[in-house]
Amino acid sequence: AQKVTQAQTEISVVEKEDVTLDCVYETRDTTYYLFWYKQPPSGELVFLIRRNSFDEQNEISGRYSWNFQKSTSSFNFTITASQVVDSAVYFCALSEGYQAGTALIFGKGTTLSVSS
């Protein structure tokens, strides 16, 4: 069965610190998709990134970077030089199958608090 585990429930950092959010997934499919979403205090989930199981290339987008490792079933997310505006709940999610058009399986989320 598919499952997403975000072991870190809450993380607190001071502005400008780097922070890594961990995500471990379980799936029996060879084709799957992984996602990160951000949920700020306003409540609306914001899409950050999608990765498919055939593309293990790490990605950097501004202060954000993602490390996908199939060998350890992990898809970790790093924020460099964190800012107060990064404070939010971050969710990792998994979708199985070739079309990935069905259910997203979410982890329980990691609450990131960045103080000034």
Binding site for another protein (CB under 8 A): 4, 33, 35, 37, 42-47, 50, 52, 91, 93, 95, 97-109
Nearer to another protein, 9 or 71 (CB): 9
- Minimum gap (Å) between residue 33 Cβ and another protein: 5
SS (H, E, C) the chain: CCEEECCCCEEEEECCCCEEECCEEECCCCCEEEEEEEECCCCCCEEEEEEECCCCCCEEECCEEEEEEHHHCEEEEEECCCCHHHCEEEEEEEEECCCCCCCCEECCCEEEEEEC
Nearer to another protein, 24 or 104 (CB): 104
- Minimum gap (Å) between residue 106 Cβ and another protein: 3
Nearer to another protein, 39 or 65 (CB): 39
